Homo-oligomer: A and B are copies of this chain.
Amino acid sequence: MESVLPPSPPLAEIDPRVTQLVNELIGRVADKWTMLILEELTEGGTMRFSAIGRAVPGISQKMLTQTLRQMERDGLLTRTVHPVIPPRVDYRLTDLGLGLAEAFCGVWQWAETHLDRIEASRRDFDQRA
């Protein structure tokens, strides 16, 4: 199997700096919290800060804020502050964010599908060791 990865010019011809950037990008975008938030917002449409916090299992307020900021910075979502008291801030995925969610769909399904097999493999490995 050859061209499973990208349109795939031979690897040697890919500019290492692009690889670097793509990789860094994926590294952050594939981040634990980013993925969960992405998932919630895909389902939920527009959501408030606290709603996302409640929807994402064990996230701390700090990580929620931080991750949302990064996603906003990357253009994955919009942040709308309503000047009311008490404050209300809405988050909503952009087209870019929705596209990313879609791209991740394959990985998510893969993980879900092969989870058992992987856990089995781990038990096996740990036993032999």
Contact = CB atoms under 8 A, between A and B. Distances in A.
Interface string A85-107: 00000000000101111111111
Interface residues of A, number: 62
Contact of A22 (B24, B96, B99, B112): B112
A84 interface: no
Given A26-B35, A96-B117, A6 B109 contact: yes
Given A5-B43, A11-B43, A21 B115 contact: yes
B5 A39 contact: yes
A5 B99 contact: no
A105 B6 contact: yes
5 contacts: A6-B105, A7-B109, A11-B55, A29-B111, A73-B125
